[in-house]
Structure 1
Amino acid sequence: MSSTIESRFENILTALERLSTSLDRQAEINQKSDQRFAAVFQRLEHFESRFTNLETLLTKTPSNSQPTPQPPSAAQPIEPNSKADAIATGNPQSQPRTTWANIAAKPPAPLNDRKRQALHRMFNPPAATDTQNGSYTFVYLSRSRRMNRSQIRSKFRDISIDNLRILDLNFPARNAIGVLLHEAYLPEFKSKLLEIDARVIEDFNPLDHHHIADPKYQDLSVESRANLAKSLHRDRCIRTLYFIRPHLLPGVAKYFVRQGWVSNELAQDIMYQRLPRPAKRRVTPPSGAAPTIQSSQPSGLPALVTSTTGSALQAPPSTTLHDWFGNPVTTQEMDITPDFASNASGSVSSRPSSPISDAVDLSQ
């Protein structure tokens, strides 16, 4: 009996000790909470003082008396934001007054080297070289790791290669890069590569079946792999024709057709999709001034041609009309698109069912 009472007293003492310990810890927790509350109250007082200062600044700035702002005209100056300037600088009169006349009188931006070279090529005769006029070419470079097109163009920019002269990039093999550019830029491109001790791959054949690295095609015959390599390269050329700028499309398409990479019909279909058709010039009706000109014609001048209706017409020169693509015109009707003849008169003829019928032969 006594042992049971002693054990209960011990349990009560242990519980009291734990309670006293928890009370001491609670005092520490309460002290930390009081410190946090004091810090929060201090920050609130700081924010209240800042709000009071902002209200004082806003009451000093007249806002209700200003009229509704109107868009400035050419004769009215552009007023600066006085409220923002007053808060930022403390002096709204320190900013100069800007007018539309001052903006229009600003000199144009100076020409950089790229624009100067482009203007030089535009207003000078073509260079007398052995290359074909307007010819393009693919050059191939080696690569040590996988890179995307943005990374390659970034590296070109580091060695001062003009990326506007790089028309397109492709990857014909695992460790090769194909670069499409104009032959006129080829010497400068090679010279930039020599500065980093790099050279183009000579005699690279993009149609070689050894470039096919996919293991699922390794069991095919040599002929099948060669046909597959041609199909893959044709797909790369088609993506290039859809990617390049429209004014470069005819020249690049002719280059692909000459190389045998793309058929003439396929290139023409892509050009019909990306390039609008121009409007053909129509024959003007006979002028009513022809009889007057004939009556006042001296005897030494050649005679005028008399039409079937009795009116005298000057014999027109036998010239051949050409459309925007350089195709010879044999009829008096042609497609008229809003891009080229939005205000053309007369009926609009429909596009032929086959775009290849009157297209220029790119293989010539």
Structure 2
Amino acid sequence: MKIRAAVLQEIGRERPYTHTQPLVIEELELSPPGDNEVLVQIKAAGLCHSDLSVIDGNRPRPVPMALGHEAAGVVKAVGRGVTDLAEGDHVVAVFVPSCGHCEPCAEGRPALCEPGAQANNAGTLVGGGYRLKRADGTPVSHHLGVSAFADHAVVSRDSLVKIDPRLPLRHAALFGCAVLTGVGAAINSAGIRAGQTVAVIGLGGVGLNSVLGALVAGASEVIAIDLDDDKLALAEELGASRTFNSAAADCVEQVREATRGGVDCAIEMAGSEKALEFAYRITRRGGLTVTGGLAHPDRKVAIQQVSLVAEERTLRGSYVGSCVPVRDVGRYVALFQQGRLPVDKLLSRVLTLDEINDGFEQLAAGQAVRQVVEFE
């Protein structure tokens, strides 16, 4: 079938993206779903820094590539072997397919699925090969197994989670990345316990979800830190107990003084080595520093090695919030429906597909928390 999709032609075009137009809306040919695959009519797809990092070259991927990985939609058809989804089901796409058989999957760590990572790096589906091509037959790479900036997508069954159809799809899209990654970092990776003090550094869509996750987990104090005063104000609206603008030269000292020597857990979601060093410095003796920000692969972090030992500190990475999507998506949706996880407040703007380059310019400029492309 023919679809409309946003295709990245080349990596590293200069900003502003509104003018340079790195994404081109093209008509592509989409193959029908193969074994263990599903045809999904995309209804909403979020703009995320993981997409932006491909556009700006921080995380190079094979081009041409149809971008988009945070999405929700409706099942239109299923391939052979898919017995637990049917036409009309509502689904959320997860950007790491989990095969269920490799060692990480068997250990209950599907975010680290090895076949999933190999396929994502190659720009193919986990079942192998491409389902997208141009009119001349040129294959178009898949982004993280989803390619959601399109009206339809063929994805692996292992990339989908069935959801409650009462959940608005523009909100459901956020659960596939921003919510899983941010809330999961607080609940799963950090294992926040009731009464602990928590700081979140970097208040994009994922970071603000970490604020929400820390609150749901019962943190006694949640401190929000960013360079942008508007995002700090939003964090306060969501329930953060204190905010600090990290542009202040003595911000580390301010936080440590306010928390009597540092927080129990600091979560870095800015995707910057400087932000991670900041997070480590405001973590107390015996505390935990978690990072879910994806910096450029060449970036290095400088920390005082002896402090890891003498202060029994822990530094931990978090990918996809250390989540088990088939377990956690439903749990987080239920919290949203109960009013305890107000992720709808993070939605800055709803776009059409034709406005996508302007949306990424807004994201790159730090002027939006979460934007969603909505399809009719």
TM-score, with length taken from structure 1: 0.22
Larger Rg, first or second structure (1 or 2): 1
More strand by share: 2
Structure with higher RCO (Cα < 8 A, 6+ apart): 2
- Judging by fraction of residues, say which structure has more helix: 1
TM-score by length of 2: 0.22
